[in-house]
C-alpha cells in the first residue's frame, strides 16, 4: 500500500464537586443480579467520529450495543485531543483542572499526568478501593514511552498491557508492555488483533475471579487513529531531530478491500466554496480533487480499521454470554475525541470545537439500561469517572467536575428535565493535521468554547486567544457555517422563555408564545456562563448558574435571558478574553478568573 508520507518536522517530538449525589439519585442505578456488584467493560477507541457515520459501518456494535442499549447522542468530550481528553476521562476533571493540556511535555503526556499527582488519584485506584479487579489493554496516554513506562508504572491496574510510544500508532509494529514486564515488540503483527488476544486473556482472568471480585476492563485500541511513524535522527549528543509521519490508518489484510466506493459524507460544510470559521480556518484553501480523493481514501481506511474493533465487540459479548455474565455486566463504548475530514475545508484531524470533533459516540448496555433507545440528555467525558464509580458503589468524591450519567429509564427521564445543558470545551497550543496534505502546523489554536443544548435551542460560542469569536445557532445552522457573532445588531433569536421564578428547570414552555432576543443579549449570557466554566471546579462545573444566581432562580440559559438580568450580564460582567496566545494553561493570559454573582454586585464570586 502506498502510504504517502507527509512529514511534520518537529524538534524534540511533541515539543510541540462532582455533586455529591443527592439522596434522590442514590438509587438511580439498578443493583444488578441479586445485589452483586456489576462488571464493567469499557471499549475506548481513538479519534472515532460520530458525524461521518463511522458507527454505521460496525454491524456487531449495532447488534450488541446500540440495539441492546442506550445511545447518548449528545455526548461530548471537553477537550478534543487524545491525551488531555483521556486524562479528563480518567480523573473526572476538566482540562483546566488537570492542566494536562497537550499530548507531550511540557504541557501534557504521561509525564505531566504523573507530575500533576494523578497517578495517585484516578479512577482505577478508586475502583480498586471499591473492591474491583481492574484491567487495561491498549493506549492509556500519549508520551507513555519505552523509556518512561516504569518511572513510575501507571498505578491502579490489576492487569495491564499498554501500548507504548513511539510505537503506539504503528499498526504493524506495536510495542506493548505487560504488568511489570519489559516492553515487547510485535513487529509485523496487526496491532488490533494482538490487542484483542490480550483483552480476551484479561477477560478470562477477570471472569475466573469474579465470584470473589467484580471487574472493570478497558480495551483501548488505536483504531481508527492515523498510523504514526516517528523518525529519529541524531544530530549530535545533545540534539535529536524527530519527525512524524501521520499516514492513513492501516487495516487488517482481511479488511483492506472493503468499502471501495465509500466517501466522506458530502454534507453542506464539506469542502465548501466559501471558507468558514475564524483564525487560520478562515484562510484555508478549497481542496482540489487530488486532495479530496486522498482524504476519501484516508476515510475508508478508518472504516476498515474499525472492523477489527467490531470483531472485538462481538467476541467480548459472546464470551460474557457464554460465562453467564452478560446480564450483570455494563458495556460502554466511546472514543477519546471526534474527527473531521474536509468539513470547513479542514485536513484530517481534531482539536476544533466543531461538532465533528467534540460530539462523540457513547453507547451503553447493561442491567436496567433501556434497549434500543437514544437519549437527549447532555453528557461529557468528565461524567464517565463518576458514572463508573457510582456503578461500582465506590465512595463518591466531591472534587470531580462531572456528574454520573443516568442509566435507567426512570433516571434518564428525570434528568431530561434537570440535567445541565452545557458543555465547556477547551484547547491550547498548536493544531496538527494528518495525511498527505495536512503538514502545516497552526499555532495559536487556543480557545474557550461553550456548547449549549437546550430543549429548543442549540449554540456553539467560541472565544479565541486571537480575540476572534464564533457563534453558531445549530437549530438553524447545524453545520456551523454561518458565524452570527458579527451579524447585524438587529439580528434576533427566538426563545420560548418562562418567567425566571418558574422552577421548571429546563422544561420547555410549550405555549406557542416566543420571545425574540437580540444577539447582544444572548452573547452576554453565553459569555458570562463561559467565564464561570473556564475556571470552574467540582459542582460549579455542572451547576454554573448557581454561581451566577445563588438564589437558585435561574437554572438554564432560557431563565438567564430574562430582561431583568440585562444589566447584570451586559454591564456588570467582564467578558472572556486572552491577553496572549499560550501553548498551555497560563492563567495570567486568560482574562477574568471568575464572575460576579447576582445580588452581590460588590463581590467577586470566585
Ligand atoms: C499549567 O502547567 C504549566 C506548565 O505546563 C504551568 O506553566 C502553568 O502555570 C500551569 N497552570 C496552572 C493554572 O497551574
Ligand atoms: C519495530 O519496533 C522495534 C521496537 O519495538 C524497533 O526496534 C524496530 O526497528 C521497529 N521496526 C520497524 C520496521 O520500524
Ligand atoms: C492539489 O492541491 C495539492 C495541495 O495543495 C497540490 O499539492 C497539488 O499539486 C494540487 N493538484 C492539482 C492537480 O492541482
Ligand atoms: C407557559 O408559560 C405561561 C406563561 O407563564 C403559562 O401561563 C403556561 O401555563 C405555561 N405552559 C406550560 C405548559 O408550562
Ligand atoms: C404541551 O405539550 C404536551 C406534549 O407535547 C401536551 O400534552 C400539552 O397539552 C401541551 N401543553 C400546552 C399548554 O400546550
Ligand atoms: C500568535 O499569537 C501571538 C500573540 O499571542 C502573535 O504574536 C503571533 O503573531 C501569532 N501567530 C500567528 C501565526 O498568528
pLDDT tens by residue, 214-244:
999 999 999 999 999 988 888 888 887 888 8
SS3 249: coil
14: pLDDT strictly greater than 70: no
30: pLDDT strictly greater than 80: no
The model's confidence at residue 600, banded by pLDDT at 50, 70 and 90, is confident
Q: Considering every ligand atom shown, identify the ligand nearest to the alpha carbon of residue 167 and give its number.
A: 2
Rounded distance, CA 404 to CA 16, Å? 34
Q: Provide the pLDDT for residue 33.
A: 46
CA nearest ligand 1 atom 14, residue:
99
Q: Provide the pLDDT for residue 231.
A: 87
Nearest-CA neighbor of 317 among 142, 64, 80, 525? 64
321: pLDDT strictly greater than 90: yes
SS3 582: coil
Q: Provide the pLDDT for residue 508.
A: 55
Give per-residue pLDDT as tens, 509-556: 555 567 889 999 999 999 999 999 999 999 999 999 999 999 999 999
Based on the number of CB atoms within 10 Å of its own CB, is 185 exposed (0-12), middle (13-18) or buried (19 or more)?
Answer: middle
Percent helix / strand / coil, the chain, rounded to 5 = 30, 20, 50
Catalytic residue, candidates 77, 82, 83, 536? 82
Q: CA of 184: how far to CAs of 173, 174, 180, 572, in Å?
A: 10, 8, 12, 60
The average pLDDT across 434-453 equals 94
Give per-residue pLDDT as tens, 103-150: 999 999 999 999 999 999 999 999 999 999 999 999 999 999 999 999
Nearest-CA neighbor of 76 among 283, 440, 382, 298? 382
Q: Name 47's Cβ contacts closer than 8 Å, sequence gap at least 6.
A: 82, 224, 225, 226, 335, 336, 337, 338, 339, 350
* CA 10 to the chain's CA centroid: 26
pLDDT above 90 as % of the chain: 84
Rounded distance, CA 222 to CA 146, Å? 17
238-241 long-range Cβ contacts below 8 angstroms, 24+ apart: 239/11, 240/12, 241/9, 241/11
Q: Provide the pLDDT for residue 149.
A: 98
602: pLDDT strictly greater than 80: no
Ligand 5 atom with the shortest distance to the CA of 511 = 14
Cα of 8 from ligand 6 centre, angstroms? 20
C-alpha cell at 598: 447576582
The average pLDDT across 400-427 equals 96
Ligand 2 atom with the shortest distance to the CA of 185 = 5
294 lines ligand 3 (CB under 6 A): no
Q: How many CA atoms lie within 13 A of 223 on its CB side?
A: 30
310: pLDDT strictly greater than 70: yes
Cα of 498 from ligand 4 centre, angstroms? 7
Average model confidence (pLDDT) for the chain?
Answer: 91
Give the other-Cβ count within 10 Å of 247's Cβ: 23
Cα of 475 from ligand 5 centre, angstroms? 21
Determine whether 82 is an active site residue: yes
Amino acid at each position: 500500500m502506498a502510504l504517502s508520507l507527509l512529514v511534520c518536522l518537529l524538534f524534540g517530538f511533541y515539543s510541540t464537586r462532582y455533586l455529591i449525589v443527592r439522596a434522590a439519585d442514590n438509587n438511580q442505578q439498578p443493583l444488578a443480579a441479586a445485589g452483586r456488584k456489576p462488571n464493567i467493560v469499557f471499549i475506548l477507541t481513538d479519534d472515532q467520529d460520530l458525524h461521518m457515520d463511522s458507527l454505521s459501518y460496525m454491524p456487531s456494535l449495532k447488534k450488541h450495543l446500540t440495539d441492546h442499549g442506550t445511545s447518548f447522542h449528545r455526548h461530548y468530550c471537553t477537550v478534543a485531543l487524545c491525551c488531555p481528553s483521556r486524562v479528563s476521562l480518567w480523573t473526572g476533571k476538566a482540562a483546566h483542572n488537570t492542566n494536562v493540556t497537550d499530548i507531550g511535555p511540557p504541557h501534557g503526556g504521561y509525564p505531566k499526568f504523573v507530575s500533576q499527582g494523578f497517578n495517585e488519584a484516578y479512577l482505577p485506584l478508586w475502583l480498586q478501593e471499591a473492591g474491583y479487579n481492574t484491567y487495561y489493554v491498549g493506549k492509556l496516554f500519549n508520551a507513555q514511552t519505552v523509556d518512561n513506562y516504569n518511572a513510575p508504572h501507571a498505578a491502579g491496574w490489576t492487569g495491564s498491557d499498554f501500548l507504548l510510544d513511539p510505537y503506539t500508532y504503528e499498526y504493524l509494529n506495536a510495542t506493548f508492555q505487560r504488568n511489570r514486564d519489559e516492553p515487547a515488540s510485535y513487529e509485523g503483527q496487526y496491532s488490533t488483533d494482538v490487542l484483542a488476544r490480550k483483552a480476551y486473556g484479561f477477560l478470562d482472568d477477570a471472569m475466573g475471579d469474579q465470584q470473589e471480585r467484580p471487574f472493570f476492563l478497558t480495551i483501548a485500541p488505536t483504531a481508527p487513529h492515523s498510523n504514526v511513524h516517528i523518525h529519529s535522527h541524531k544530530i549530535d549528543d545533545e540534539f535529536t531531530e524527530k519527525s512524524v509521519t501521520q499516514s492513513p490508518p492501516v487495516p487488517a489484510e482481511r479488511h483492506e478491500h472493503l468499502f471501495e466506493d465509500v466517501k466522506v459524507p458530502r454534507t453542506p460544510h464539506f469542502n465548501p466554496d466559501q471558507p468558514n470559521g475564524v483564525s487560520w480556518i478562515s484562510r484555508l484553501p478549497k481542496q482540489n480533487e487530488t486532495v479530496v480523493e486522498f482524504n476519501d481514501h484516508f476515510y475508508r481506511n478508518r472504516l476498515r480499521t474499525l472492523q477489527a474493533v467490531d470483531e472485538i465487540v462481538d467476541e467480548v459479548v459472546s464470551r460474557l454470554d457464554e460465562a453467564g455474565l452478560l446480564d450483570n455486566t455494563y458495556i460502554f463504548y466511546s472514543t477519546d475525541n471526534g474527527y473531521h475530514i474536509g468539513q470547513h475545508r479542514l485536513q484530517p484531524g481534531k482539536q476544533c470545537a466543531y461538532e465533528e470533533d467534540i460530539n462523540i459516540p457513547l453507547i451503553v448496555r447493561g442491567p436496567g439500561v433501556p434497549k434500543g433507545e437514544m437519549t437527549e440528555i447532555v453528557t461529557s467525558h468528565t461524567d464517565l469517572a463518576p458514572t463508573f464509580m457510582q456503578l461500582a458503589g465506590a465512595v463518591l468524591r466531591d472534587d470531580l467536575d462531572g456528574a454520573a450519567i443516568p442509566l435507567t429509564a426512570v433516571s434518564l427521564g428525570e434528568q431530561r428535565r434537570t440535567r445541565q445543558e452545557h458543555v465547556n470545551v477547551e484547547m491550547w497550543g498548536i493544531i496538527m493535521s494528518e495525511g498527505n496534505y495536512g503538514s502545516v502546523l497552526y499555532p495559536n489554536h487556543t480557545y474557550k468554547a461553550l456548547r449549549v443544548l437546550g430543549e429548543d435551542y442549540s449554540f456553539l460560542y467560541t472565544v479565541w486567544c486571537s480575540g476572534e469569536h464564533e457563534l453558531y445557532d445549530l437549530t438553524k445552522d447545524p453545520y456551523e457555517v454561518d458565524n452570527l457573532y458579527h451579524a447585524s445588531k438587529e439580528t434576533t433569536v427566538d426563545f420560548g422563555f418562562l418567567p425566571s421564578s418558574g422552577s421548571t428547570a429546563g422544561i420547555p414552555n410549550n405555549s406557542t408564545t416566543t420571545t425574540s432576543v437580540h444577539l447582544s443579549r444572548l452573547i452576554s449570557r453565553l459569555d458570562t456562563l463561559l467565564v464561570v466554566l473556564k475556571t470552574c471546579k467540582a459542582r460549579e462545573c455542572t451547576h454554573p448558574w448557581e454561581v451566577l444566581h445563588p438564589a437558585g432562580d435561574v437554572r438554564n440559559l432560557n431563565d438567564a435571558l430574562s430582561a431583568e438580568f440585562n444589566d447584570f450580564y451586559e454591564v456588570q460582567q467582564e467578558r472572556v478574553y486572552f491577553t496572549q496566545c499560550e501553548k498551555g494553561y497560563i492563567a495570567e493570559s486568560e482574562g477574568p478568573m471568575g464572575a460576579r454573582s447576582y445580588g452581590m454586585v460588590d463581590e467577586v464570586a470566585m
